[in-house]
Every structure is written in C-alpha cells, then in structure tokens.
Structure 1
Amino acid sequence: MTNYTTTMSMYHRILAIDWRRKTCTDSDFYIDLMAEYLRRSALWAKVLAPSHPIRPFSDIAASVDPTIRADSDLVKALLDYLNQFPVNATEKRVCEQALHWAVIDNMPQVKQFALPDPYEPLLVLFEQGGTFRTEHGWIDVAGGGFQMRNWHDYAEKPPFVELNK
C-alpha cells in the first residue's frame, strides 16, 4: 500500500465509526483496549525516548519523524467531521494522530522497531462504541480509571488483547 492509500483508508475508517455515544456494552473489553493502548505507547516511548519524550496521547508519528504528516486539508476535513459529534478533545487528537501514523506506518523508520500500531486499540475502542476522557492525570474508560503517571510500567506487561495490528 502507498502512503496515500493507507492514509485514505485510515481517514475512511474513522469516518465509518458511529460517533453517537451508546450505552457501555462491554466495559472489561474497553478497559483492556485502553490498557493495551497504554502498553503500546509505553513500548514506543521506550524506543524513542529520551530524545523524543512521549506521554499518553502524544503524537508518536511526530516523534518518529516530524516532517512526515498527513495532508493538512485531510486533517481539517477529519476534525470538521468529528466536530459534529460528542467527541472530546483528546479523542479528536487521537484520531488526528492515527491519521498521521497511517502516513508513516509502513516506512523503514517505523518498521525497524517491529512494534505494534500504537493507535489500533483506541480505534477498536471507538469502533465498538467506547469512549474515554482524561482529567487531572487520570484516564476514565467505561468506569475504569488509569493513572497517567505510572503508564510507563505498561511496557513490561504482556498484551491485554490480541489485535490484528
């Protein structure tokens, strides 16, 4: 796949999500998906830090190569679309970051690390009707809370869920 094809595929994947909030149907799965996102982010932070400090919900693609970004008009179109729905700022930021990630996902500077896609767990969370919010150093997903200050510990944990990417 070309970068353009991968980026457009991600764009359409995000547009296909039903952003109208639903009742939580599987809180354990949503919590596992967030834990998996934290694990993957911590793995990326481990290989990219200290030269590129990463925290939860950081733009990992920019840490890999800040010069390679999704087309600004495409990003604007995505954010304009998301503004129609009850999507919080962090969730919008994650969707934008996933779009930037799609541009570099298959590039050698990413593949050299042989790490999983950091955004896949959150995209699955959204596709399954889940949501999360951040507040005062905590992540709340389906009634489960995660402290952001100890998120690096997730790098040492086994996968919480098995995903294709």
Structure 2
Amino acid sequence: MSKSLTDALMERLSGIKWTNLEGRNAHVASRSRLMVEYLRRASLWAEVLGGPPKWPIFDIAGALAPEVRVDPELDERLEEFLMAHVGGIETENACRAAIRWATLRDTPGVQLPDLPDPFEPLLLVYERGGEVIADESRAFNFGGRSVRIKPWREHLSAEPATALDTATLDALDREYEQAHVDRW
C-alpha cells in the first residue's frame, strides 16, 4: 500500500532542521529563487480564488474545499510537532496549509485546477535551510538576498522562477557563491 501524500508530507516536515542557524545563510540563491517561485504559484492560486484570504501564506485547500479536514489524529501530531520544533507563527501556518493541501489532494474525487503545487517550492526553501520569516520591511531575507512581498497580483507570472530539481538549485548556489568569492 502506498503512503498518502499527507503522511509523506508529515515525514518531510519532521526531517527538516527548523532551527538551522547555519542553513539560514546557506543556499542563498536557491532559497531566494524558490521563495519567488512560491509567491508566483501562490498568486496563481489566489487568482483562481478571486484573491487570497491572507497573503502571502494562506490555506489554499481551505479556500477551495472548506469541508475537507485533516484527520484529527494527524492534526494533533502536527500541532505537537510545530510547538516543539517550529518557532514562527508564519511558518507554523505554512505547515498547516501544506498539510491541508496534501489532505485535499488525498481526497478521492476532488478536481483541482491545472496549476502547479503551491507549497512544493516553500517546502524546498525549508529543507534547504530551515525556517524563514518575513521581516518588518515585508521581505523574506536569505543572507545576501531578499525577496520583497508585493501584492499578490504583482507576483503573477506564467513563467516559473526556477526549476525545482536539486541539480538546478545547486547550480544556482554555486554560481552565487562563486560570484561572491570573485568580488573579494
């Protein structure tokens, strides 16, 4: 029997080093580009919904199908995990929204618009360096790069910001690191 998307996501979340202080300044290029891609994808879903209930991280599954709920046992495990390992409310809400998204995708008979998975780039941001929190200037900061949080419509684009495969992401980081080494 194959694992549900929800169970697989819970395992993924459990494997992230959430308080990875060294990771916050690692993978600067790929994490910032992945955040741009998350914002692009979230804006595509926001457009389908006629605007997001909250921006930039929101419960897409809840807006699409409020009747679909996370299994209470899994929800309790998620809450315990978040309290023990994740520090920021924004990130906690992102994890809740991603789990609800996986639950929606696991629900038989649900028809979703033909749009890319909104949370995959955000999950990769976390996996490549832990939690990231927007600062008071409405930007996500990644060491030497920041990603401004603009109104959702300004993030709309048909063109992806980056491919999500490891080779592409690692190449972005190598290129960024080399450019910064060459400056000194």
Q: Normalising to structure 2: TM-score of the pair?
A: 0.76
Which residue matches 1:122? 122
Name the residue aligned to 1:41.
Answer: 42
**Contact 1:30–1:141 under 8 Å retained in 2:** no
In 2, Cα distance between the equivalents of 1:137 and 1:63?
Answer: 28
Deviations 1:54-86 (A, max 9, x none): 521110010110110211331221121122235
What is the CA–CA distance in structure 1 between the aligned matches of 2:87 and 2:41, rounded to whole Å? 23
What letter is aligned with 2:123? L
Q: What is the rounded CA distance, in whole Å, between the counterparts of 1:82 and 1:157 in structure 2?
A: 33
Alignment of 1:8-157 (within 5 A): 8-23=7-22, 24-50=25-51, 53=53, 55-105=55-105, 108-110=110-112, 113-136=113-136, 138-143=138-143, 144-156=145-157
Which whole-Å CA distance do the structure 1 matches of 2:114 and 2:138 have between them? 29
Q: Quick one: percent identity of the two aligned structures?
A: 30
Unaligned runs of 5+ in 2: 166-184
Computing the radius of gyration from Cα coordinates, the structure with the larger value is 2
CA–CA separation in structure 2 for the residues paired with 1:108 and 1:162: 27
**Partner SS state of residue 141, structure 1:** strand
Structure 2 CA distance, aligned partners of 1:108 and 1:86? 30
Contact 1:139 1:145 in 2 (8 A): yes
Counterpart CA distance in 1 for 2:133 and 2:19 is: 15
- 3-state DSSP class of the match of 1:68? coil
Q: How big is the alpha-carbon RMSD for the aligned residues of Structure 1 and Structure 2?
A: 2.3
| Displacement of 1:7 | 1.2
- Aligned counterpart, 2:4: 5
How far the C-alpha of 1:140 sits from its partner, in A, is 1.8
Q: 1:19 to 1:98 in 2, by over 3 A?
A: same
SS of residue paired to 1:45: helix
Q: 1:128 to 1:147 in 2, by over 3 A?
A: closer
Give the secondary structure class of the aligned counterpart of 2:125. helix
> Number of residues paired by the alignment?
160
Q: Once the 2 structures are TM-superposed, how far is the Cα of residue 137 of structure 1 from its aligned partner? A: 6.2
**Distance in 1 (alpha carbons) for counterparts of 2:10 and 2:99:** 6
Q: Which residue identity does 2:110 align to in structure 1?
A: P
